[in-house]
Amino acid sequence: MSGPKLKPSIIWVPGACHLPSHYKPCTDILKSKGYRTITVRTASVRQTGPYPNGFSQDLGAIVSAILTELDEGHDVILVMHSYGGMPGSAAVEGLLKSDRELNGLAGGVIGLIYISSYVVDVGVNPMANGMGAPEEDQKSLVKIDEEGMLLFVDPVAGFYHDVQKDAAQKAAESLQPFAAMTLNKEQTYAPWKHLPSIYIICEDDKILLPAHQEAMASQEGGLWTVVRMKSGHSPFLSQPNELAAVIEQAVQNFTK
């Protein structure tokens, strides 16, 4: 006789410059409700070299996290923030529940949640397609150093303008450089064409403009549900309870 069905694990993929600690206000709420949550530590975010020039290292870390949960009997729901949508989407290739069932394997990825995230079709490079803040804003928000590491000049204005002041400053001080070339790559897999996917549009985002989010969340062939939040780029800090509620509802829908 089989035991009780385990809750799915919620795996978070951070955005550029962000660490797992940035997402704790929201992940802690989900944990308090009994959800198993894991946040991947991405290789593209680091204080010192060597610096990757693609997202293969990040992809490997995400795949490893997913397989660990599947091996323990959990289905997986992936939550991707900002840049995290690129390696996160690529990482689930072959790991969807339907893919694994064809190979006689239990469990798999059952749902995708994108938070103001880069979501593009196979072969598309988001930077080459002008997805981001306007060029004049990028110059005031972002700089790239001589080693190709992206740094935010004013992260509070870009990421956290709607976050409580002390929390915003703490979050800004915790950011680390991001390997810019990691994002300047073509996408390799588009799982949102094969799996129910939620796109959370942050309507007051200064980094990834709402118009670009709207375009990505309406791409042809996507199995999209769109949720809108009146937040900046970081609702996990500005509105953690509201975001946790959206994710919890999504989990319930994915597991029906």
Q: For 69-79, how does the pLDDT look when each residue is reduced to its tens digit (9 = 90+)?
A: 999 999 999 99
Residue type, 132: G
pLDDT at 167 over 60: yes
> What's the pLDDT score for residue 47?
87
SS3 222: coil
Pairwise CA distance, residues 180 & 93, whole Å: 24
Q: Percentage of the chain with pLDDT > 70?
A: 93
pLDDT at 183 over 90: no
Long-range contacts of 32-35 (CB under 8 A, 24+ apart): 33/244, 33/248, 34/7, 35/7, 35/9, 35/10, 35/248, 35/251
pLDDT at 231 over 60: yes
In the chain, the domains with their CATH numbers are 9-254 (3.40.50.1820)
What pTM did the predictor assign?
A: 0.94
Contacts of 233 (CB under 8 A, 6+ apart): 15, 82, 116, 158, 159, 160, 202, 205, 206, 207, 208
| Each residue's pLDDT tens digit, 17-44 | 999 999 999 999 999 999 999 999 999 9
